[in-house]
Structure 1
Amino acid sequence: MNKLPAKKTFSDEEVIAQIMQLFWQNGYYHTSMDEIVATSGVKKQSLYNAFGDKHTLYLKSLQHYHQQILAACAQAMQQLEQNGESPLTVLMMLYSRGLTEPKQPTGDLMANAIAEFGATDSDVKQATDHFYEDYLTLMASVILKGQASQTIMTTATSMTLAQSLLEARIGLQTRLRQGAQPNIAEHERTWQAFLQP
């Protein structure tokens, strides 16, 4: 008589969310499989069976982060727009969102991944590129609305402005990860003044 496979007692999404937080806090190289097992509460063999090795878990964590952040941004954008806020206000939310969130690790999981891997891992690079392309598209779409309503400067394209803003955001995330305490509100005011027509 064939043995039935053991019933899975955990939620894939919840486990990946826990592991994502661990990678976000410690980085890839400073996170061991033993720590992953302890954090997730799932046995090592069960993790391997369900997800694969540590590298695969990391990629799944990046994917989860991507979905979580973009969904939260889209929801926040919609709320601000429904409240009648200007495109510039929406854009500043995208610029500074999550930078000083006390309940999460400092920096940004994607910026941390770039700092750790650079371009040495094609899978990680693909994941980070995909995330930043989507974030860039969100920013550019808001800038385009602001340019159409003449509340954001039109002397540069929406994509050029979005790229500059996104790179400034990544720079702030890196500084935060290093333990610096930049004045986010001051940075916002500077960008607002710059972006106004």
Structure 2
Amino acid sequence: MARSKEFDESVVLHKAMLLFWEQGYEKTSLQDLVEHMGIHRRSLYDTFGDKHSLYLKALDRYGDLMSAALKSEASRGNSARQALRFIFDFMIEKGDDMPLGCLFVNSAIELAPTDEQIDGKTSQGFQGEEQLIADIIRRGQQSGEWGAHHDPELVAESLHNSLVGIRVLGRTSAGKEKLHRIADASLAALDK
């Protein structure tokens, strides 16, 4: 008779995601994962497979959480402009319970050049974020906030690139004031 799991799979996956986000893939050992997740090595393998498989699942979890968070932030806005501002502010001001930077950015830098699966996951995550931004720009164009001369996909690519840069700078000693200035300049492009 099989033993039932003595842990919540979602909770321990979240712990693994946070550890990978903070330390990166290569610097996170199996022992680090076992200790941080609070499960036995055998349980890790039985539930998630090897370290790489666990990392892919952690990226999926991160993608789901970020997608939900960004959509939630955008929905708080009374206007398209405010929706974009809330997304930028969230990326700059996100809570102390979250590691600095972005797991997608970290993964793209550390692993995507040599790992097709990681490249696919990070690209998919970035595309989802760009699509959300493009949809908000279209909404702003329909409401008359911005002119129809803007290509929503092109502007979304540019704004997303600014968000990625903000996430990278967020891991450095750059102050939040600087990050907000970058956000302001990026969003001002829609007024031209």
TM-score by length of 2: 0.92
Separation in 2 of the partners of 1:165 and 1:30?
Answer: 31
Partner of 2:3: 6
Counterpart in the other structure of 2:91: 98
Q: How far apart are 1:78 and its partner, in Å? A: 2.2
Gaps of 5+ in 2: none
Q: Does 1:138 align with 2:132?
A: yes
Match in the other structure for 2:75 = 78
Shift of 1:144: 0.3
TM-score normalised over the length of structure 1: 0.90
- Considering only CA atoms, is the larger Rg found in Structure 1 or Structure 2? 1
User: Is 1:50 aligned to 2:50, yes or no?
Assistant: no
Determine whether 1:154 maps to 2:151.
no
- Asked whether the 8 Å contact 1:96–1:169 carries over to 2, the reply is no
What's the C-alpha RMSD, in Å, of the aligned pairs?
A: 1.5
2:36 counterpart residue number: 39
Query: Structure 1 residue 194: deviation in Å?
Result: 2.2
Would the alpha carbon gap of residues 179 and 55 (structure 1) be closer, same or farther in structure 2, given more than 3 Å must change? farther
| CA–CA distance in structure 2, aligned partners of residues 159 and 96 of structure 1 | 21
Whether 2:178 is the aligned partner of 1:188: answer: no
Which runs of 4 or more aligned residues in structure 1 lie more than 4 Å from their structure 2 counterparts after TM superposition? none
Structure 1 residue 152: Cα displacement:
2.1
- 1:174 is displaced (CA, Å) by 1.5
Which one is further off, 141-150 or 90-99?
A: 90-99
Segments of 5+ residues of structure 1 without an aligned counterpart are none
Q: Say whether residues 1:22 and 2:19 are aligned partners.
A: yes
Residue deviations 1:82-108 (CA, integer Å, cap 9, x gap): xxx210110122234233322211110
Q: Which residue of 2 aligns with 1:127?
A: 121
CA distance in 2, matches of 1:88, 1:180: 25
Q: Secondary structure at the match of 1:8?
A: coil
Identity of matched residues, %: 28
Q: Distance in 1 between matches of 2:155 and 2:28?
A: 36
| Segment of structure 1 superposing worse, 100-109 or 47-56 | 100-109
**Conserved? CA contact 2:80–2:140, under 8 Å:** yes
- Distance (whole Å) between structure 1 residues aligned to residue 172 and residue 109 of structure 2: 11
Letter of the aligned partner of 1:104 in structure 2? M
Residues 91, 163 of structure 2: 8 Å contact kept: no
Residue of structure 1 in register with 2:65 after alignment: 68
Distance 1:26 1:178 in 2: 15
Moved more, 90-99 or 40-49: 90-99
- CA–CA separation in structure 2 for the residues paired with 1:185 and 1:178: 15
Tell me by how many angstroms 1:11 deviates. 1.1
Match of 1:107?
A: 101
Matched residue type, 1:54: K
Superimposed CA distance per residue, residues 66-95 of structure 1 (whole angstroms, 9 cap, x where no aligned partner) = 001111222222232xxxx21011012223
Is 2:80 the partner of 1:87? yes
Q: Partner of 2:112 in structure 1? A: 118
The answer (yes or no) to whether the contact 2:14–2:61 under 8 Å persists in 1 is: yes
* TM-fit CA distance, 1:172: 1.7
